[in-house]
Structure 1
Amino acid sequence: MKSQALVGSAISTLFLALVAAHVAPSSSEAKPTIVSTAAATETLSVQSSDVELESTLDTTPIRGANIGGVFLIEPFIKPSLFDQFLSRNKEDIPVDEWTFSAALGKAEAKRQLEEHWNTFVTRDHLESMADSGINWIRIPIGYWAFNLTADEPYVDGQVPYIERVLEWSRDIGLKVELDLHGAPGSQNGYDNSGRRGVPEWLHSRTNVDRTLDALAKMTQIAVDWSDVVYGIQILNEPSRWKWEVKDIFAFYNEAYDLVRSIAPDVLFMIHDTFLSPKDWSTLVAPRWTQALMDTHIYQMFDNYMVTINETAHIEMVAKMAEDVMKFDKTSIGVVVGEFSAATHDCTKYINGLGRGSRWEGTLEGIADHPLCPFATCSCTGDYGSNPAEFSAHYKRFLRNYVDAQLAVYDQELAGWFFWNFRTEGAPEWDYILGVEQGWIPSFPRTAMPKLNESSAIVFDDAPTSHEAKSEAGQGKYQLAKSMYGIVVTLGIVVATTCYFLFSL
């Protein structure tokens, strides 16, 4: 009987070894690039049961980048879209998406924007960011993607391109926040709302109803893509300087009920309307659950801040975050939804197309003389658009400045979203460029795709084409899963046979 037991033990050991060999590839075989050693045990159980892998992402801060300037264009992010009009008289040059579309007409605007949607953000960009530690993206969208009237110059058709980004995010393992970035009538009068000028959003109940309709349709996307979309920002930067805070809060409450009626568990995200953190409680209802406050922290849209030196900028990070740290986060968390590496406003069109800069004293209605930390101010060299001209000293400053911000946003708050994922000639605003150049640090990769049949797995040795990667990943996963099933079946047969033989 002892020899029988030894034989049975040997067979059992052999069986377990066979199972392990087929479930976990050896170091010489292709393996998912996103599965960490710590998650290996969880991964094995997922592959055998198709249970969704949540990993340790829930305890990891939001480390995000904005996919801005794509589905709502801004002149400073891609100036070439607007430079085509510079030969016109100043009053005829488009300054936002509204006037851009009106200047081109529906057909040509649709053609140019579809090309832009198709090329400005790619899967390569998302994978590059995930490799450097990004685990979330925030996608700004204008209301006209969901609710467009015939008398408006905007064009729609963005949704299929947005859903393509969601599909890439699912494959790569990125979580997504959908952000309603522009409301009918404009909620702030900035070009980032789609329409620069005098805001009219809350002047009309029709505007509010259309905003809610767009929000409902955007929230439905969150439901349809619930394994990818984890957050809904109901409106970006409604301005407290334009509207009474109580009226903005009334909209927030109405939007909360709407979102919760469609998506009960999605993160409900609001903007602080540029209020001081000590007043944020006026924007929050105690009944809200799963809510986040979004605050945007910049140091260049202010006449004083552009005049302070590099040391003062770094010290200002802690000073600006002090009240945020004091805010009671028991009812609502805080995320820095926008920040950058910029401390000057030299960036082309950053204050709006045709408006100039504080740095050189050309910002209309704001600065009639140069405002900078030096005796003379020039938007060249370290403060120009070409990173090849940046000095080693300036690059070190950028790294120290970004590190100072992340020390707070990454460690003390719910997380952050850098503005922006990429730009066309705005180096301090370009996350991908900043990582490449070294002034933005990389984090361990925490974006982890779900290991089930509805999501592709990307393998190290797959073809370079991302579509091919997805197909190869799915094929290898299915092969591994099939082999696993064969081994399990054979093992059960062998184990059962041995059991009856040794029982005789």
Structure 2
Amino acid sequence: MKIFSFLTLATVTLAATIAKRGPKASDWDYENKTVNGVNLGGWFLLEPYITPSLFKAFEPGEIPVDEYHYTMFLGKEEAKRRLEHHWDTWYQESDFEAMADAGINTVRIPVGYWAYGMKEDDPYVSGQDFYLERALGWARKYGIVAWIDLHGAPGSQNGSGSSGLRGSFDSLEELRKSIGFLHDDNLSLTLTVLQKIFDKYGGSEFEDVVSGIELLNEPLGIVSDMNKLKNFYRWGYGNMRYLNSLSYNNVIISDAFMEEPGYWNDFMTVDEGYWKVVVDHHHYQWHTPEELGMNITEHVQLACELGTNHTKEYHWNIVGEWSAALTDCAMWLNGIGRGSRWLGQYMNSPKFGECEPYTNPDEWTEEHKQNLRRFIEGQIDAYSTASGWIFWNWKCENAVEWDMSRLIQLGVFPQPFSDRQYPNQCGYD
């Protein structure tokens, strides 16, 4: 009788727990359910243009260009003190409630490798995982699912400050030298770090809230050994599926900016024994003079063409990063000490105009607001044709065109997301 009572109580308790947690996020139906998401960038991996106040605390001329140098300049003790305050305060439960109220069903949470393992001489500090787990609890409470995104790899996968370690973009050769991720020791550490993420977040404890794990953000294919990168994807997939954790969650792979239509169609297919693979595309329209020179109709049309291409892909696919930015005017967007293409200061770009009309929303003309609205609506329509979209970012201190929460307040980002002032721009209907 006591055994029966104990088992009955355990069953009731388990049932209540399951009911509280709801369906498995790991079984997200990318075929039929649209991701309406937002990134939480600049939280567990610093990006100066998202939180410039953390970098302005340094003396002029001594501002670190990335998290590697931020922690190196401060030393581990002081860096830990400042970053723990940032991790604890930059996002709060109220942010997740606001996201849910806005219609967000997915958050993508970037994290650097150093949260789970470091090279011997790394200056980074760890401790992010406590706050990541807390964030997943908030997401769970408000019915939001999460991607965990390995955003920075040892040696850097792209030479960008967004990887935690910035390199040189002065030439392709210099950029190639800046990318050390594919060196054997760095690959090994990356796989070790991923395994820790798989073991904790890929299993049953978080299957109700984690809807995918991204093996690596934005490896730069044009200067990388793509065969070696593809092998890394295979190894990461295999480790997630069959080593220790035996995770059945979704495996997300970056397109590595290899955007030729159909490039990934024959890679990691079901016929080869791979399943629940999602391709992550990132689309921004300010990296080249050609893009900066486009009018708003051309910007929207480009997004529509990309969306059409995505519908023809073999894999489930998401546009995991995009923004409202029509310029690169946001301070430090290209990196500390680098100017903007719009002003003719960077990458030998011609000058297109001044930045003041675009960086301060108080100075936005009605025409600019409507252009932003058209651009956002067009991108939502285009990227919803496949499995959905994840906007970069939920909030920034100053970069408003990258700040969904501010764009919503300004009436530029549609609420609900289906509301249209410029319907059917892509001609899909």
Aligning the two structures, in what range does the TM-score lie when normalised by the shorter sequence?
Answer: 0.7 to 0.9
What is the CA–CA distance in structure 1 between the aligned matches of 2:137 and 2:45, rounded to whole Å? Answer: 20
Moved more, 75-84 or 267-276: 75-84
Structure-2 residue corresponding to 1:87: 60
Q: Which letter maps to 1:378?
A: E
- Picking from 115, 137, 141, the partner of 1:167 is 137
Structure-1 residue corresponding to 2:193: 214
> Where do residues 123-142 of structure 1 align in structure 2 (5 Å cutoff)?
123-142=93-112
User: Contact 1:341/1:429 (CA < 8 Å) preserved in 2?
Assistant: yes
Q: Which letter maps to 1:248?
A: L
Structure-2 residue corresponding to 1:274: 257
User: Contact 1:130/1:172 (CA < 8 Å) preserved in 2?
Assistant: yes
Structure-1 residue corresponding to 2:378: 404
Q: Quick check: 1:151 aligned with 2:137? A: no
What is the CA–CA distance in structure 2 between the aligned matches of 1:296 and 1:444, rounded to whole Å? Answer: 20
SS in structure 2 at match of 1:281:
coil
What is the CA–CA distance in structure 2 between the aligned matches of 1:444 and 1:295, rounded to whole Å? Answer: 20
Structure-1 residue corresponding to 2:90: 120
State which structure, 1 or 2, has the greater radius of gyration over its C-alpha atoms: 1
Q: Quick check: 1:415 aligned with 2:415? A: no
Q: Quick check: 1:192 aligned with 2:162? A: yes
Shift of 1:194: 0.5
Q: Quick check: 1:108 aligned with 2:87? A: no
Q: Which letter maps to 1:102?
A: M
Report the TM-score when normalising by structure 1: 0.73
What is the CA–CA distance in structure 1 between the aligned matches of 2:51 and 2:267, rounded to whole Å? Answer: 33
Instruction: State the number of aligned residues.
Output: 383
Shift of 1:343: 1.1
* Identity in percent: 38
What is the CA–CA distance in structure 1 between the aligned matches of 2:390 and 2:255, rounded to whole Å? Answer: 15
What is the CA–CA distance in structure 2 between the aligned matches of 1:51 and 1:195, rounded to whole Å? Answer: 41
Shift of 1:283: 4.3
What is the CA–CA distance in structure 2 between the aligned matches of 1:54 and 1:408, rounded to whole Å? Answer: 28
Structure-1 residue corresponding to 2:368: 394
User: Contact 2:317/2:387 (CA < 8 Å) preserved in 1?
Assistant: yes
Task: Call closer, same or farther: CA 1:153–1:283 in 2, change over 3 Å.
Answer: farther
Q: Which letter maps to 1:354?
A: G
Structure-1 residue corresponding to 2:50: 77
Shift of 1:319: 2.6
Q: Quick check: 1:336 aligned with 2:319? A: yes
Shift of 1:291: 1.0
Gaps spanning 5+ residues in structure 1: where? 1-45, 446-504
What is the CA–CA distance in structure 2 between the aligned matches of 1:93 and 1:300, rounded to whole Å? Answer: 25
Shift of 1:49: 9.5
> Where do residues 358-437 of structure 1 align in structure 2 (5 Å cutoff)?
358-363=341-346, 366-367=347-348, 369-370=350-351, 372=352, 377-381=353-357, 383-384=358-359, 386-410=360-384, 412-437=385-410
User: Contact 1:266/1:290 (CA < 8 Å) preserved in 2?
Assistant: yes
Q: Quick check: 1:348 aligned with 2:331? A: yes
Deviation per residue, 1:129-181 (Å, 9 max, x gap) = 11010001000000000002442110001110111101111111110110001
Q: Which letter maps to 1:85?
A: F
Task: Call closer, same or farther: CA 1:257–1:47 in 2, change over 3 Å.
Answer: closer
What is the CA–CA distance in structure 2 between the aligned matches of 1:303 and 1:108, rounded to whole Å? Answer: 41
What is the CA–CA distance in structure 1 between the aligned matches of 2:142 and 2:123, rounded to whole Å? Answer: 35
Q: Which letter maps to 2:130?
A: P
Structure-2 residue corresponding to 1:483: none
User: Contact 2:24/2:207 (CA < 8 Å) preserved in 1?
Assistant: no
Q: Which letter maps to 2:263?
A: D
SS in structure 2 at match of 1:159:
helix
User: Contact 2:39/2:109 (CA < 8 Å) preserved in 1?
Assistant: yes
Shift of 1:281: 2.8
Structure-2 residue corresponding to 1:288: 274
What is the CA–CA distance in structure 2 between the aligned matches of 1:368 and 1:260, rounded to whole Å? Answer: 46
User: Contact 1:143/1:180 (CA < 8 Å) preserved in 2?
Assistant: yes
Q: Which letter maps to 1:218?
A: I
Query: What's the Cα RMSD here?
Result: 2.1
Q: Quick check: 1:325 aligned with 2:311? A: yes
Query: Larger relative contact order (C-alpha < 8 A, sep ≥ 6)?
Result: 1
Deviation per residue, 1:161-219 (Å, 9 max, x gap) = 1111011111111101100011111111101110001111112x111111011101111
User: Contact 1:72/1:194 (CA < 8 Å) preserved in 2?
Assistant: yes
Q: Which letter maps to 2:335?
A: G
Shift of 1:312: 1.6
Task: Call closer, same or farther: CA 1:293–1:387 in 2, change over 3 Å.
Answer: same
What is the CA–CA distance in structure 2 between the aligned matches of 1:213 and 1:81, rounded to whole Å? Answer: 30
What is the CA–CA distance in structure 2 between the aligned matches of 1:111 and 1:51, rounded to whole Å? Answer: 35
What is the CA–CA distance in structure 2 between the aligned matches of 1:408 and 1:353, rounded to whole Å? Answer: 33
User: Contact 1:176/1:230 (CA < 8 Å) preserved in 2?
Assistant: yes
Shift of 1:389: 1.7
Structure-1 residue corresponding to 2:239: 258
Structure-2 residue corresponding to 1:182: 152
Q: Which letter maps to 1:254?
A: W
